[in-house]
Amino acid sequence: MLASETFPAHRFKESIFKPYSTSGSASVDDLASVNKTLTSAATTSSSPDTHAAVDIAPTASSVEFETARKMLTNNSSSSSNNSNNNNNNNNNDAKDDISGFVASHPAAPFEGFIRACVDEIIKLAVFQGTNRSTKVVEWHEPAELRQLFDFQLRDKGEPQEKLRELLRETIRFSVKTGHPYFINQLYSGVDPYALVGQWLTDALNPSVYTYEVAPLFTLMEEQVLAEMRRIVGFPNGGKGDGIFCPGGSIANGYAISCARYTYAPESKKNGLFNAKPLIIFTSEDAHYSVEKLAMFMGFGSEHVVKIATNEVGKMRLSDLEDQVRRCLDNGWQPLMVSATAGTTVLGAFDDLTGIGDLCRKYNMWMHVDAAWGGGALMSKKYRHLLNGIERADSVTWNPHKLLAASQQCSTFLTRHQLVLGQCHSTNAAYLFQKDKFYDTSYDTGDKHIQCGRRADVFKFWFMWKAKGNLGLESHVEKVFRMAEFFTAKVRERPGFELVLESPECTNISFWYVPPSLRTMERDREFYDKLHKVAPKVKERMIKKGSMMITYQPLRQLPNFFRLVLQNSCLEESDMIYFLDEIESLAKNL
Ligand SMILES: *Cc1c(COP(=O)(O)O)cnc(C)c1O
């Protein structure tokens, strides 16, 4: 006998628009049938389990509503009707009904809870947390924070009131990265459309590996990636392939993987053991993920050659060619160049046309890491910064950076239509069945190294839909305009000094020299003292909560501040605030 023959038949009565608990005719019968389906095929209709479920069913919804009402008014005294008598009659038994509810199903008592939580998140995290009059961060030492927040997990669940308090405290003790004065990192702001998009994907909870479980998101990914390739300028209107990745770092790893497969296809089977070393070239200012992923993938960091940058942070092409020659002299194989379009610290754009020429000349894969600067492609005024990107074999582009989609939203794009699939597929028969009834070329999951995967596409598609190309363009142009305004102010204001006279992107690096150092000779002692200014100002800033800006040293340069702009709600007055605030925090240094 087939297992399916003993399986109870479904009744497709309930629609998501008509919850069974509110329908008068949804009787014991309906619920019993649902219950039978849920208990396994082995359960017979006379099992005690089923009886128990039937007995509870008629009263369940009213009890749930009543409990929910009590939870919300924080007034609990009703006792449990639950037949499994595990109640120990303590004073919050109604709360136990909810927290002891094991199914993850949004039954009636949860609706009030979900709505109340979402309301509070909107009020506290989305609006209050991004108001200029509030702190960016409420700082506490780790030991202190451990005391202030109830991290402990216990045998017994917590009542909903306590959970809501924990939500409020989580918001309170978290950094408000959507706050206009959070200019600390390469992402910031809260885009309302991206936020709603992200919430919807969390509600639907899809995994984008097969058309079967994510039909709409599969097609949406194709659409968005094709559009991005077209904007990059790949030939034939943007032909090729692409994927959404968990971060630009992983996207850079995909570039290495595709390059390796293309130039050494046998490596898919044999690995890199006993093979000729393959060499990756990138600049000394490139993102660390290139080296990290090369190590992760078995190349070894020795086989990532760092090319020196020039005085404005761009890869030196003469040095690149020298290193490629040296690699050939050693009998190694030059595999790829990972150029950077918008370096993480200085915001420099490598000469993509020149690098493209060298890649062609020495037959190397050309990758452009435009994780940060890629957003500039949306602007007619600034896309020239990435001239030559259309010649790349592959591109990393993070919409969660310059375009301000919420974390994470990263893409890997390639002009080659088949490489991702050829390189990564293993044809797992339990997920990518070839005998499905629909066109399985839409089961795109096998070209990823992930199995389950979030639908990061949706929030980006939704905000793109809301703003249009023109909206994204004006967003990008606004943040560039603010960066130019800020640069001009730094240039003219006493005590402030630019690291690069003309920064290309919206990250602006600068020193603040306090009055006590201004008359000093620019010797070793001066630089040692200047090196300590930024960390001290940063400490005061965080403790006050007034803003967050990052700092770092670079090669021989002492610590400098780096303003990073990608929030287009920032105005000129905010730029002045940043300078005033740094000046005031540095008082008496
Ligand atoms: C941020 C960044 C990355 C890494 O992206 P994640 O999404 O943070 O992993 C890679 N390259 C550059 C140039 C970056 O600025």
For 247-268, the pLDDT digits (tens) are 999 999 999 999 999 999 999 9
Whether 322 shows a pLDDT value over 90: the answer reads yes
Cα 276 to the chain's mean position, in Å? 36
pLDDT digits (tens, 9 = 90+) for 281-295: 999 999 999 999 999
- For the CA of 286, the nearest atom of ligand 1: 13
The closest alpha carbon to 226, from 32, 526, 518, 444, belongs to 444
- Which of the four pLDDT bands, split at 50, 70 and 90, describes residue 123? very high
Q: What is the pLDDT of residue 76?
A: 37
Rounded CA-CA distance 344/286 in Å is 7
Whether 274 shows a pLDDT value over 90: the answer reads no
382 CA distance to ligand 1 middle (Å):
20
pLDDT digits (tens, 9 = 90+) for 215-246: 999 999 999 999 999 999 999 999 999 999 99
Q: What is the pLDDT of residue 430?
A: 82
Whether 400 shows a pLDDT value over 80: the answer reads yes
Which residue among 245, 254, 385, 396 is best mutated to probe the pocket of ligand 1, counting the most ligand atoms within 8 A of its Cβ? 396
What predicted TM-score, i.e. pTM, was given to this entire model?
0.84
137 CA distance to ligand 1 middle (Å):
24
- Mean pLDDT (the chain) is 86
372 CA distance to ligand 1 middle (Å):
7
- CA quadruple 479, 349, 372, 327: dihedral, nearest 10: -170
- For the CA of 401, the nearest atom of ligand 1: 1
- For the CA of 248, the nearest atom of ligand 1: 5
In three-state secondary structure terms, 11 is coil
Residue whose Cα lies nearest atom 2 of ligand 1: it is 371
Which residue among 283, 288, 296, 344 is best mutated to probe the pocket of ligand 1, counting the most ligand atoms within 8 A of its Cβ? 344
Which residue among 395, 398, 504 is best mutated to probe the pocket of ligand 1, counting the most ligand atoms within 8 A of its Cβ? 398
Rounded CA-CA distance 457/376 in Å is 19
Distances (CA, A) of 329 to 78, 172, 366, 517: 83, 59, 21, 50
CA angle 256, 262, 266 (to 5 degrees): 100
| Fold assignment, 200-426+435-467 | Aspartate Aminotransferase; domain 2 (3.40.640)
Rounded CA-CA distance 537/514 in Å is 11
Cα 412 to the chain's mean position, in Å? 14
- For the CA of 289, the nearest atom of ligand 1: 10
User: For 532, left (φ over 0), alpha (ψ -120 to 50), or beta?
Assistant: alpha
Which residue among 252, 284, 287, 385 is best mutated to probe the pocket of ligand 1, counting the most ligand atoms within 8 A of its Cβ? 287
Contact 511, 497 (CB under 8 A): yes
Pocket residues: Cβ below 6 A from ligand 1: 186, 247-249, 287, 289, 340, 344, 369, 371-372, 398, 410
Q: What is the pLDDT of residue 42?
A: 34
The helix-helix angle for 457-492 and 192-204 (nearest 10°) equals 150
